[in-house]
Amino acid sequence: MRILNEIRFDNLRGDLFGGVTAAVIALPMALAFGVASGAGAEAGLYGAVLIGLFAALFGGTPTLISEPTGPMTVVFTAVVASLIAADPENGLAMAFTVVMMTGLFQMAFGAMKLGQYVTMMPYIVISGFMSGIGLILIILQLPGLLGHAAPGGGVLGALQALPELVRQIDPQEAVLAGLTLAILFLMPARVKRVLPPQLVGLVLGTLLAVYWLGDADIRRIGEIPSGLPSLQMPVFTAAQWQIMILDAVVLALLGSVDALLTSVIAGSLTRRQIDSDKELIGQGIGNLASGLFGGLPGAGATMGTVVNIQAGGRSALSGLTRAAILAVVVIWAGSLTANIPLAVLAGIAVKVGIDIIDWRFISRAHRVSIKGALIMYGVIGITVFVDLITAVGIGLFIANVLTIRRLAEIQAESVFTLPARRKRDETQCAQLTPEERSLLAQGRGRLKLLYLSGPLVFGAAVAINRQATKLEGAKAVVVDLSQVPHMGVTTAVAMESAVRDALAQGIKVFMAGAHGQPRERLEHLGLREVMRKHCWVEDRTEALRLALAEILPPEQQVPHAQRDAADAPA
C-alpha cells in the first residue's frame, strides 16, 4: 500500500488555487469552532493546520480537505465541559488527550480494514444524529448571538437561560451577529463563487466593530499567541480513564463516518477511486498530531472539499497548500484576530448548524416511512436532550430490530412445505417438475418437501420452526437446499434441530442439493453423523425417489412414463 497520498504536479495551478480557496473558507470556520468548543480560537486554528496537513499527506482521498467540523466540535465541546467539571486543573489537557486517543482509534480502524463497514449505518440514524448535532450547535450559540457568554449547563442550560438573555440582549453584538447571518444567507450565488460568505461576514463584522463600535464594550477574540503551538503531553487520571476511552471511541466513529461520507462525495465529483482504510489512517494521524499540539479534533469537511474540487484541486497538493497558508496565519498573523467580535463567530457557527440539519430528508421522511421518521425524530430528541451515545445506540437498536423483522417476513416467503395445504399455494408447486409433482402425489401426504431458497440469515430460523407443524403425518421428508448459497449460524441451528426432531419421530430425512457453505455448516453441527451417507443427495428428484421408496414398495409406485401416458389426452 502506498504510504503517502497522491501528490502530483501536473495540475499545479488548479491545486494551488484550490488550496488557497479552501484556506480562505477554513479560517473563519476554524476560529468559530475553536471559540465554540471552549478550547479557544487557537485550538481551532491548530486543528485546521495539523489535521489538514497530515490527512492530506497520508490519507486515501487526494482532494479531501480535513479540518475541525461542526459534528466533531459539538462532541468535543461536551468532552471539554465534562472533563473540566470533573478536574478543573487538568480537564482541558485531558480533553486533548482524548483527541490523541481518537487518532489512535482511527488508525486502528484503518489497520483492521474497517473502512468499508464504518458507514454501514441506517440513514435514518445518521440523519437524526447529524440533525441533532446541528440543533445542539445552534442552541449553544444562541447566547453568543444575543451578546452573552455561554451560561453553562449545555443545551438545557442555554435554553433555560434564554428568556433572561433575551431581556438583557446586547443590541450592538446582536446587530453584528444578525449582519453576519444576513450575509451568509442572502449573498447572491454568483458572488459566492468568487468570495466565500464566511470570510466576507468575518471581515465586514470586524471592520464594523473596529471603526463603528471601536469604543464599545463588545466581546472579542483577543490576540492569538503567535509562533508554533506547544507540545501537549497526554494527561489522564485513573478515575477518568474509562470515560476518556468512551469519548475517544465516539469521536473516532463520528470522525470516521464524517470523513468517509465526504470522501465518497469527493470520489463521485472527481470520478476517482478512494481508499477508505488508508483515509482512516490519515485521519487518525491528523487527529493524533492535533491533540499533541492542543488542536481540535476534525474530519473531512464537505464544504472545503467541494470548494477545493470546484476551484481545480485534483491531488493532495491542494490540501498541503491550504495547510501551509493557515500555518502562516498561526505563526505570524495571530495579532490580526484580536478585534474579531465573538458575535460574528457565533453567527458563522449558527449557519454551520443550520447546514448540518438534514432538511431535505426531514421534510419527506414521513412520506417514505412513518416508522423510519419516528426513529429519526427520536434520535434527534435523544441527541439534543439526553446523550449522543445513547441516541446512536437506541436508534441503531430499534432500526436493526425493524430491519430484522422485515427480513424475517421476506425470508419466511422462501421457506415452505409441499404438498401445499391450500390451493393458493399452487404457485409454489409450479417450481416442481411433472415427475416431482407425481412423486409427491404418490406419497399421499406421507412424503413432504421442505423447500428453502436464497441466503438465509437468522431471520429465517423462525420460518423453519413454523414448518415443523406442517411435517406432521410425514414418513419421509426431503429438505431442498439447492437454492441456498449461504446459511447463517442461527438458521443452521434451527435446521439441525428440525432434522433431529424429525429423525427422533422416525421420519426419514434426505438432504437435497446441499453444497458449499450450507453443507459444511450443517455437517459441523453434527448432521453428518446422525444422517446416513446415502441421505445426502445432489439432485432433488433423486431425493424424492429415494424418499418415496422408503414409504412405498416399488410395485406400488407408478413409473413416471406410465403416469405421463395416463395423463395424456386420447
The mean pLDDT value for 232-242 works out to 83
When mean pLDDT is compared across 157-166, 404-413, 437-446, the lowest value belongs to 404-413
How high is the mean pLDDT of the chain? 87
The whole-model pTM stands at: 0.78
Picking from 355, 387, 421, the residue at the C-terminal end of a domain is 355
pLDDT of residue 569: 46
Asked if 345 and 424 sit in the same domain, the reply is no
Asked if 329 and 200 sit in the same domain, the reply is yes
When mean pLDDT is compared across 39-48, 89-98, 366-375, the lowest value belongs to 366-375
pLDDT of residue 61: 93
The mean pLDDT value for 419-431 works out to 59
Distance of CA 208 to the CA centre of its chain: 42
Binning pLDDT at 50, 70 and 90, where does residue 560 land?
low
Region for residue 122 given its phi and psi (left: phi exceeds 0; alpha: psi -120 to 50; beta: otherwise): beta
Picking from 315, 336, 355, the residue at the C-terminal end of a domain is 355
User: Which of 436, 445, 440 has its CA nearest to residue 482?
Assistant: 436
Residue-wise pLDDT tens digits, 56-104 = 999 999 999 999 999 999 999 999 999 998 889 889 999 999 999 999 9
Q: Which of 279-293, 353-367, 452-466 has the highest mean pLDDT?
A: 279-293
Distance of CA 525 to the CA centre of its chain: 35
Q: What are phi and psi of 559, to 5 degrees?
A: -55, 150
- Report the C-alpha gap between 170 and 474 in whole angstroms: 85
Which three three-digit cell numbers place residue 432?
Answer: 416442481
Instruction: Determine contact, residues 296/68, Cβ cutoff 8 Å.
Output: yes
Picking from 311, 340, 355, the residue at the C-terminal end of a domain is 355
Give the range of the structural domain holding residue 447, as residue numbers without chain letter.
413-567
Asked if 470 and 330 sit in the same domain, the reply is no
Asked if the model's pLDDT at residue 212 lies above 90, the reply is: no
Give the C-alpha distances (Å, rounded to integers) separating 37 from 32, 55, 73, 136, 530: 9, 22, 6, 12, 65
Asked whether residue 520 is domain-assigned, the answer is yes
Answer with the residue of higher pLDDT: 553 or 306: 306
Asked if 183 and 289 sit in the same domain, the reply is yes
Percent of the chain residues topping a pLDDT of 70: 94
Asked if 304 and 425 sit in the same domain, the reply is no
Which three three-digit cell numbers place residue 8?
Answer: 502530483
Asked whether residue 312 is domain-assigned, the answer is yes
Q: Which of 393-397, 435-439, 475-479 has the highest mean pLDDT?
A: 475-479
When mean pLDDT is compared across 164-173, 359-368, 398-407, the lowest value belongs to 398-407
Asked if the model's pLDDT at residue 333 lies above 50, the reply is: yes
Asked if 144 and 261 sit in the same domain, the reply is yes
- Report the C-alpha gap between 112 and 505 in whole angstroms: 48
The mean pLDDT value for 487-508 works out to 90
Asked if 342 and 422 sit in the same domain, the reply is no
Instruction: Determine contact, residues 449/440, Cβ cutoff 8 Å.
Output: yes
pLDDT of residue 267: 87
Residue-wise pLDDT tens digits, 371-423 = 889 999 999 999 899 877 788 788 888 888 888 788 778 777 778 888 876 55
Asked whether residue 398 is domain-assigned, the answer is no
Asked if 516 and 425 sit in the same domain, the reply is yes
Asked if 350 and 419 sit in the same domain, the reply is no
pLDDT of residue 422: 58
pLDDT of residue 53: 96
User: Which of 452, 378, 99 has its CA nearest to residue 250?
Assistant: 99
Instruction: Determine contact, residues 143/420, Cβ cutoff 8 Å.
Output: no
Question: How many CB atoms are closer than 10 A to CB 538?
Answer: 12
**Burial grade of 164 (CB within 10 A; 0-12, 13-18, 19 or more):** exposed
- Report the C-alpha gap between 288 and 104 in whole angstroms: 7
Asked whether residue 8 is domain-assigned, the answer is no
User: Which of 125, 121, 72 has its CA nearest to residue 250?
Assistant: 72
Domains contained in the chain, number: 2
Asked whether residue 373 is domain-assigned, the answer is no
Residue-wise pLDDT tens digits, 221-234 = 887 877 778 888 88
Question: How many CB atoms are closer than 10 A to CB 189?
Answer: 6
Q: What is the CATH number of the domain that holds 490?
A: 3.30.750.24
Residue-wise pLDDT tens digits, 334-346 = 777 888 899 999 9
